[in-house]
Structures are given as C-alpha cells and as structure tokens.
Structure 1
Amino acid sequence: MSSPAEQPSTPWSKAWGLRVPVVNAPMGGVAGGRLAAAVTAAGGLGLIGMGSAGSVAALRRELPFTASLGGRFGIGLVGWVLDAEPELLDVAIEAGPALITVGFADDSGWVDRVASAGIRTAAQVYNADDARRAEDAGIDVVVARGLEGGGHGAPDMTTLPLLDAVLKDVLVPVLAAGGIGSPASLAAVLAAGASGAWLGTRLAACSESLLHDAGRRAMIAADGSDTVLTSVFDIAMELPWPTRFPARVLRNEFTDRWAGDEDTLRTDGEARISVRAAAESVDPRIAPIDAGQGVGMITSVESARDVVTEMCSGAAELLTGPSPT
C-alpha cells in the first residue's frame, strides 16, 4: 500500500500553521469566500480578493463562506479603492482574518492599523527597493510578484530573478508569485528559497472561484503565449489604475484593436460602451480576463483542493524524491 503523499513545508508555513506553503492571490472578481475556504481546507491560506469593484457590500457578501475557518483566511484590498471607500478596511479588520494585504497603495499607513489589531500584513513587491520599503514599513511577509503574473502589477522583473534579488535584501519571509502553475514551477521557487507560493491564475478556473463559465472556457483554451500586458481595459472602463501597473490578460479582439492606440481609445465613447457591455454579457472576445503566463497549465475545471494537493505533492516529490511505497 502506498503511503500518503508527502507535502512540502517551509519554516514560514509551519510557523503560520499551514500544512502547505500556498496562498491564493486575492484576485478581484475571482477569489471569493468559497475559493478562500477551499484553499484553507486544502492546507494553505485562502484569501478573499476585493479588486476594482471591491466594496463593503461585496466583502460582507463573501465573508460568511469563511465563518467556519476560525480566522484562518485573509483579505486583499486595493489602495485606490480603499481611498474611495475607507470603511472597507474597517470591515476587513473587524472580520478578524489572519492576514490583510493592501495592494497598489500610495502609502503604508494601513500597516500599523492592521498590525495593532493583531493581524499580519503582506505586500506585493516588484523589485528590491519595493521589498526594502515594505520591510521598513513593518510588513510581515512580502510577495515577490514577477511580470509573468496575471492581473495588475509592475512588469519590472521575471519571478526567479526577482525572488533572488528580494531574498538577498530582506529578512522577512518572501512568497513567490507569477507564472507558478505546476508542481515543477512550485518546486522551483521553493528550491530557490521562497517561503511559499502566492497562486493566482492556476486557481482562477477552479470550481469554487467567482469566474464566469465563459472565462473558465477561455482560460482552458489558452496557453502562456496568449497573454498580453496592457492598460486598454483600464482606459476603456475608466478605472484609475496607476500607469505603473498594467494588467496581464488573455489577448482578445479588444486588445488587438487598441494596442498602441491608447490615446484614441481615451476619447472613443463607443469602445468604452462595448467593453462594459461585454463584461456584463460575459463575452471573452471583448471583456478582460486576467491570466498569467502559467495559464496553459489549466486544462479543466477542478476543485481548489485537487489543484493544491496535486501541485504540492508533485513539488514535494521533485524536491525530495518519490515517497516510499
């Protein structure tokens, strides 16, 4: 009889009480309470994501799915959304999660507020300078997010060189993000010294996510060469994302039409209407679907538990050799 599959662990994952060193990225419109609960049940740390459309009402709608977790979940917020609705941070703190992260924030004033409530903090970083500033601000764990990652981020460095640079410069635990979609890529970042992995795209099409079925189908049909870095959707939807942070999305008719013609797009009311209509009707030919370069590893709709278990068991085997039978 085979023994139970081994699972990888790190000093950080053990200290945080996790069976596996995996956190799901707080993907707006995708990472709801059900996905967070499923990732936590699989042994990692599940995060609820409040992205561009984040609100107090949206967060309160997702929190009941994590009620049985005893605080073993996290919440991810967006800085400029928080500026527009400050109560969102109050609600997040009151929920008593294990972790809160605020991405794309202009300042780190939120860190002390969260820490004073006994909640750990995380911050995405894109270069060593970002990492040092985060550590100086009192962040508990930094997320080295490479340009391969889906959604918004600074396209400064690829994941492994960024991980090397950040590990050299900070003492706090470092999670790796961007392009991690298989047992091999998970093993690679752990072998390189990451304390864990921050998984986004690989979990986005899971059965527990909030992603619409058309988006799941588009991700299953895609591979890493089908993604592009762009700001055209932010421009068309009039979202105030800083220019430093374009989004990696699935290439479609809209990105092909407007790539390099962003100035014209800003004044094209018909194009803006078409994107909003496509988003409402779930038309992936026009609407944005965030996806990183690891999207080719998605071949079917699976449960988050199965994805996390398969990735972690495979990574453990690569790192330590096959388990005895």
Structure 2
Amino acid sequence: MPLSTPWSRRLGLSAPIVNAPMGGAAGGMLAAAVSRAGGLGMIGMGSSATAAALEAELAHVAGLERPFGIGLVHWVAVNQPDLFELALSAGPALLSVSFGDDWSWVRRAHDAGVPVAAQVGDLAGALAAADAGVDVVVARGAEGGGHGQPRVGTLPLLAEVLDEVDLPVLAAGGVASARGLAAVLAAGAAGAWVGTAFAVCPEATTAPGARAALLAAPGDATTTTRAFDVALQYPWPATLPERVLRNEFVDRFDGREQTIDADARAALSGAVAAADYRIAPVNAGQGVGMVRESRSAAEVIDTLCTGAAHLLRRWAP
C-alpha cells in the first residue's frame, strides 16, 4: 500500500520508515533488507563500534541500488576518527551522529556531500541541532529503546519540535504498530524511526535468546537504567540511560550502581558471553508488547504501511 511524505519521496523511498541504527541489532543485512523494501535501512554502530566492524557491515550494502544510512554514537566517533571517516566515504544517504554537544561533524559531513541527522530528546536539543545545520531531526521520545534522554514522550516531543523547527522531523520511540505509524504521520512527522519491531527480524543481528526475550515481553517490561553502562565501563553520560528489558541484573543494581564490584562485572561479562539474558542486557522500547512474531523486514514495512494508510484514510475528513 503506497504511503509517503515529501521527505521520503525526496530520498526516493516508497515507505516513510527508517530502521533505528541499533548497535548489536541493525547490521548491514537488516539495513539492506529495509532499503530493498522501500524504507531507509540504517547500519548501526553502537558503544563497541570500530572501523573494522563498520567495514564488515558495509559489505552487505555494496552494490545496493537503494539509499541506505549509517548511525554513529558521537563519543565513539570522537574516540575513533577512522570510524567517522569510513562512514563518510561510504556515501550514505543519511548519516546520524547522536548524543553529543560538539557539532563540528556536521560541516565535515556536508563538505563530503552527506546529509545528516541527530536524535534529540527535548526541544532545546532540537533547536541546537537545527542551528548546527542538520538536515533531519529525530525526535526520540522517552519510550524509545536503547540510550537516550528519557525526558518527554514521543507525541508531545514530536508536536513541540514540529511547531518550532522548520526541518523534516522523524518520530522515534514506541512506534511499533500501524496505529503508531499513522499517529506520528498524522501529527506531521516526515517518517518513523522504528527500532524494536525490526530488532526481532531474521535479518537483524539480534542474538536468538535476546530475540526470544523481546517476543515474550509485555509492554510494561522495560525500564531505563545505567547499571549495564557502569558495569561494562562504557562512558555514557548519566543523562543518557538506556531502556532495556528488566532482568535480574537490573533488579539488583538499578539505582545502586555504586555497589557494582569486580564480581558483578565478571558475572555480567560471563552472561553476555553465554547469551544469558536473565543477566545480560536486551535493549527494548515500550512498543515491545506489540511485537509478537519474527517477520522479515519487508513484511514489517508492508504491515506498518498498509495498516497506517488504511487508518489515515478512515481518519480523513
């Protein structure tokens, strides 16, 4: 079912859907599948990203005759300049660099002819991104999985940013169903930035145990925490916790991160290696309760767009 926005048409997309560049889930295979299905597939480079890892994922989009994008974490890109340079040289249709206060990368990307986006969690962040010259703002609401500023819900944030920023705005956080997609498009979003619904696709690099945990989780199973970042010694700022499925490690250490000792770190590292998700982290947004089966990226896009188009026609005056 055709569904588009001015922004998606300019990019040559047939669906106003972007897969969130989730570290550990959104590899090149998922990006290629999303792009082939008419969306914008994003390769996600998370906390442990390296240039070598990005190069391996780029192999999946080599020769792809559809636009694709790349998502980086700002502090990781700063610490690894070769990662940022490789991302630019790949010629993505969109480069997202999020969660930083230094905007010098925007000019460097534009000088290379690469359009850019940044995720924001409040209006101040959106205004700063716009002033820095980004081409697209991603309004990431508190419902979103993974790292972000859990300050404002997706719909209030989207409405506020649309009122104040004269740029295409993508809605992120909790968009996991046709109704969610229809709602953000009706509000004026240029598209939806979808994470959890794609994390369970067979093309995602999500580990089988994590995929099973996502499929079994109800909508109220998530929480925001810094426990895993502290234990794994990732330098995420305290203002950017991650939304995960609640598990034994979260229950023990959330809000008590100062008690995480060497034994706890060793237990977590062992659980990550063993894919034991009673302890290891699983990123998930609050839309997880609407994700009940593993379907291909193409099926996810078709279901979202067909349902949203039907609803938008019903709501039209």
Cα RMSD of the aligned pairs, angstroms, is: 1.1
> TM-score, normalised on structure 2?
0.98
- Correspondence 1:22-171 to 2 at 5 A: 22-70=17-65, 72-171=67-166
Matches within 5 A, 1:1-325: 6-70=1-65, 72-265=67-260, 268-321=261-314
Query: Secondary structure of 1:69's match?
Result: coil
Residue type matched to 2:172 in 1? A
Segments of 5+ residues of structure 2 without an aligned counterpart are none
Displacement of 1:103 after TM fit? 1.1
Q: Any stretches of 5+ residues in structure 1 without a counterpart? A: 1-5
- Whole-Å Cα distance in 2 between the matches of residues 188 and 220 of structure 1? 23
What is the CA–CA distance in structure 2 between the aligned matches of 1:315 and 1:303, rounded to whole Å? 18
Task: Measure, in 1, the Cα distance between the counterparts of 2:203 and 2:147.
Answer: 22
Q: Is the 8 Å Cα contact of residues 244 and 284 (structure 2) preserved in structure 1?
A: yes
Give, in whole Å, the separation in 1 of the partners of 2:303 and 2:63.
25
Residues 36 and 66 in structure 2, CA contact (< 8 A), matched pair in contact too:
no
Secondary structure at the counterpart of residue 294 of structure 1: helix
Aligned-residue offset at 1:71: 6.2
- Give the distance between the partners of 2:276 and 2:78, measured in 1 at CA: 30
Taking the aligned partners of 1:217 and 1:186, their CA distance within structure 2 comes to 24
Look up the SS of the partner of 1:156 in the other structure: coil
Which SS does the other structure have where 2:96 is aligned? strand
CA distance in 2, matches of 1:91, 1:119: 12
One-letter code of the match for 2:278? R
Q: 1: CA distance between counterparts of 2:189 and 2:293?
A: 28
What is the TM-score normalised by the length of structure 1? 0.95
How far apart, CA to CA, are the structure 1 residues paired with 2:83 and 2:90?
11
The share of aligned pairs that are identical, in percent, is 55
> Greater CA deviation, 180-189 or 102-111?
102-111
Return the alpha-carbon distance in structure 2 between the equivalents of residues 106 and 11 of structure 1: 29
Secondary structure at the aligned position of 1:224 is classed as: coil
Quick check: 2:35–2:66 contact (8 Å CA) kept in 1?
no
Runs of 4+ in 1 over 4 A off after TM superposition: none
Cross-structure match for 1:3: none
Give the SS at the match of 2:193. Answer: strand
C-alpha separation between the residues in 2 aligned to 1:124 and 1:154? 10
Deviations 1:270-299 (A, max 9, x none): 001111111111111000000000011221
